[in-house]
């Protein structure tokens, strides 16, 4: 099973990102051949600072390594290092419908808030994302619900490519189709969908639009985490169990369950002796600090050595390229681009 996912370069990863994406990435290393890409090229589609982009990419690499990605058991690399992504993006444009790109919700939302320029890159963002995954013939893509449309598009693109450019004797896709490209499956982590803002438990924890006090960052100091939990909004009543009309309490219980690797029912059973919401907040804060503090410490260590991070990314890119190069040769051959492939 080959797994591929891409992650935006930012140092502001929050608890929702951690439980929903990063922890899943770490687990992916045991389930299959895991390939993870820090998408610096995608980050250039909206206004950005070049110096910051480099820093954020290293921040992200350090967070992922600190959380448990192991370069010996996965491929971790920077998108911009592997030129096959941009080439494949262009080649896939020939089987991508402009109308579909125009209709993407993320394109509509993001273009609506750009002040200076709505770049063509923003429109082509999903094609580059398709190239990311298809270059590795990945079978599974663990990303959030918000990426559903992009996943559907890449499945359409792969299917259309295989139909438009059939090649006898090309590798069979894991999903039973036949063709140069593998049609990937979406895998939506269930936890990510559930982590809510501590101040506004009706909404998802998010980097954009959430409350600062209600958003717990992976790199927050333990004290800051405790404060945020102590100020968490709870609900009326005092029973320590989940209920539809208790979004605040449900959130705390589910967060505890996720960081401890338990079921929410087990957490509720453990809380039987607790006295009200104050105890719940303290218990949740402790559980989260216990999970994040070691990540933060390792992060600080790793982030201090930029040369080592660059080296790790370069080694990852080397491994990624070996796979992507092979796909590109097949794609060019199928499309009649460049000279015929030497056999």
Residues that bind ligand TRP (CB under 6 A): 4-6, 8, 39, 42, 129, 132-133, 141, 143, 147, 150
Q: What's the min distance (Å) between Cβ of 31 and ligand TRP?
A: 16
Q: What's the min distance (Å) between Cβ of 138 and ligand TRP?
A: 8
* Torsion angle (degrees, nearest 10) of CA 186, 258, 24, 56: 110
Rank residues 174 and 282 by Cβ distance to ligand TRP and give the closer one: 174
CA distances, 221 to each of 209, 225, 288, 328 (Å):
22, 6, 11, 44
Q: What's the min distance (Å) between Cβ of 81 and ligand TRP?
A: 14
Rank residues 4 and 165 by Cβ distance to ligand TRP and give the closer one: 4
Core vs surface per residue 236-245: b (16+ CB within 10 A) or e: eeeebbbeee
How far is the C-alpha of 22 from the C-alpha of 24, rounded, in Å? 5
In the chain, count H helices and then E strands. 15, 5
Return the sign of the alpha-carbon dihedral for residues 242, 248, 251, 257.
Answer: negative
Q: What's the min distance (Å) between Cβ of 85 and ligand TRP?
A: 9
User: Which residue in 240, 243, 226, 229 sits closest to 274, CA to CA?
Assistant: 240
How far is the C-alpha of 169 from the C-alpha of 203, rounded, in Å? 49
Q: What's the min distance (Å) between Cβ of 130 and ligand TRP?
A: 8
E strands in 8-108: 33-38, 74-78
**Residue nearest ligand TRP by beta-carbon distance:** 6
CA distances, 37 to each of 15, 21, 99, 316 (Å):
20, 13, 28, 9
Rank residues 5 and 327 by Cβ distance to ligand TRP and give the closer one: 5
Rank residues 181 and 233 by Cβ distance to ligand TRP and give the closer one: 181
Q: What's the min distance (Å) between Cβ of 79 and ligand TRP?
A: 7
Which tokens belong to 153? Answer: 């598009």
Rank residues 26 and 289 by Cβ distance to ligand TRP and give the closer one: 26
Rank residues 126 and 248 by Cβ distance to ligand TRP and give the closer one: 126
């Amino acid at each position: 099973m080959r797994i591929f996912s891409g992650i935006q370069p930012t140092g502001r990863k929050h608890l929702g990102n951690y439980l929903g994406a990063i922890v899943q990435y770490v687990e992916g290393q045991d389930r299959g051949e895991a390939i993870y890409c820090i998408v610096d090229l995608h980050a250039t589609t909206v206004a950005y600072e070049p110096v910051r982009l480099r820093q954020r990419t290293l921040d992200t690499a350090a967070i992922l390594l600190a959380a448990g990605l192991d370069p010996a058991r996965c491929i971790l690399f920077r998108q911009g290092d592997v030129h096959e992504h941009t080439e494949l993006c262009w080649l896939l444009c020939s089987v991508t419908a402009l109308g579909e790109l125009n209709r993407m919700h993320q394109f509509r939302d993001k273009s609506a808030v750009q002040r200076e320029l709505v770049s063509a890159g923003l429109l082509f963002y999903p094609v580059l994302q398709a190239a990311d995954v298809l270059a590795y013939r990945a079978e599974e893509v663990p990303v959030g619900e918000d990426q559903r449309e992009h996943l559907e598009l890449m499945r359409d693109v792969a299917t259309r490519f295989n139909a438009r450019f059939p090649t006898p004797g090309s590798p069979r896709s894991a999903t039973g189709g036949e063709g140069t490209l593998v049609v990937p499956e979406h895998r939506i982590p269930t936890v990510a969908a559930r982590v809510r803002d501590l101040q506004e438990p009706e909404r998802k924890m998010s980097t954009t639009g959430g409350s600062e006090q209600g958003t717990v960052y992976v790199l927050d100091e333990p004290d800051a985490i405790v404060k945020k939990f102590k100020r968490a909004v709870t609900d009326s009543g005092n029973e320590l169990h989940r209920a539809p009309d208790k979004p605040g309490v449900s959130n705390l219980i589910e967060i505890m369950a996720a960081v401890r690797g338990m079921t929410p029912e087990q957490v509720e059973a453990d809380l039987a002796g607790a006295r009200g919401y104050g105890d719940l907040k303290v218990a949740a804060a402790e559980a989260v600090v216990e999970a994040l503090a070691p990540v933060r410490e390792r992060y600080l260590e790793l982030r201090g050595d930029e040369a080592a991070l660059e080296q790790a990314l370069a080694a990852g890119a080397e491994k990624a390229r070996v796979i992507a190069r092979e796909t590109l040769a097949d794609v060019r051959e199928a499309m009649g681009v460049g000279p015929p492939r030497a056999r």
